[in-house]
């Protein structure tokens, strides 16, 4: 992983929102499913041009990234700041898990049609009789 000290921020992409989904079709060299990460934001030089950047991040790269972030918070801000970040992350785990469980219970997590119709219509081959 590149050390951030050595990376110059030249017109950075300012991320204002994000979404993630485990992509079972994209495996890293360790055989783990990668993560599709969508970033929403704009270039610093183009504040009125919001765009979406789709990325695929191998899980091992994500682990490196999170490790580097945790280390920097610990190094620069101390234990309490790192614990606060971990607590914040855990609360997002719970919120996302609840949303995922609700979507599965409503048969909305298999395809876009299922998602948009509240589980009554599907383009994934799932029939209502199978529910
Ligand atoms: Zn479906």
Residue range 46-78, pLDDT digits in tens: 999 999 999 999 999 999 999 999 999 999 999
Same domain, 41 and 14: yes
2 and 47 together in one domain: yes
Specify the 3-state DSSP secondary structure of 15: strand
Q: How confident is the model at residue 6 (pLDDT cuts 50, 70, 90)?
A: low
User: What's residue 8's pLDDT?
Assistant: 78
pLDDT band at 7 (very low <50, low <70, confident <90, very high): confident
- Same domain as 57, residue 12: yes
109-123 burial: b if 16+ Cβ within 10 Å, else e: ebbeebeeeebeebe
The encoded tokens of residue 13 equal 């992409």
CA angle 117, 24, 3 (to 5 degrees): 115
Looking at the structure, do residues 70 and 39 belong to the same domain, yes or no?
yes
Judgement on whether residues 94 and 65 belong to the same structural domain of the protein:
no
Q: Is residue 85 domain-shared with residue 99, that is, in the same domain?
A: yes
How far, rounded to the nearest angstrom, does the alpha carbon of residue 49 sit from its chain's CA centroid? 22
- List the one residue out of 67, 51, 48 whose CA is nearest residue 59: 67
Q: In this predicted model, what pLDDT tens digit does every residue of 17-41 receive, in sequence order?
A: 999 999 888 888 888 899 999 999 9
Domain carrying residue 55 = 1-77
Distance 120 CA to ligand 1 centre (A): 9
Q: Indicate the average pLDDT of the chain.
A: 90
- List, for residues 72-129, the tens digit of each pLDDT value: 999 999 999 999 999 999 999 999 999 999 999 999 988 899 999 999 999 998 865 4
What pLDDT band is residue 10 in, cutting at 50, 70 and 90? confident
Residues 65 and 86 in one domain: no
Domain match, 99 and 71 both: no
Residue percentage of the chain with pLDDT more than 70: 92
Structural domains of the chain, count: 2
For residue 112, the CA-to-ligand 1 centroid distance in Å is: 7
Is 131 a member of any domain?
A: no
> Do the domain assignments include residue 112?
yes
Q: Give residue 24 CA to ligand 1 midpoint distance, Å.
A: 16
| Same domain flag for 4 and 38 | yes
Claim to verify: residue 20 and residue 83 sit in the same structural domain: no
Half-sphere exposure of 109 (CA within 13 A, CB side): 12
List residues bridging with 74 in a β-sheet. Answer: none
pLDDT band at 131 (very low <50, low <70, confident <90, very high): very low
> 129 C-alpha to center of ligand 1: Å?
13
């Amino acid at each position: 992983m590149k050390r951030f000290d050595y990376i110059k921020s030249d017109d950075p992409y300012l991320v204002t929102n994000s979404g993630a989904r485990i992509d079972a079709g994209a495996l890293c060299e360790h055989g783990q499913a990668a993560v599709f990460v969508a970033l929403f934001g704009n270039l610093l030089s183009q504040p009125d041009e919001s765009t979406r950047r789709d990325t695929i991040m191998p899980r091992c790269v994500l682990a490196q990234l999170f490790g580097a972030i945790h280390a920097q918070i610990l190094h620069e801000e101390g234990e309490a700041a790192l614990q606060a970040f971990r607590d914040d992350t855990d609360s997002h785990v719970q919120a996302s898990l609840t949303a995922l469980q609700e979507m599965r219970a409503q048969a909305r997590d298999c395809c876009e049609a299922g998602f948009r119709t509240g589980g009554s219509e599907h383009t994934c081959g799932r029939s209502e009789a199978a529910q």
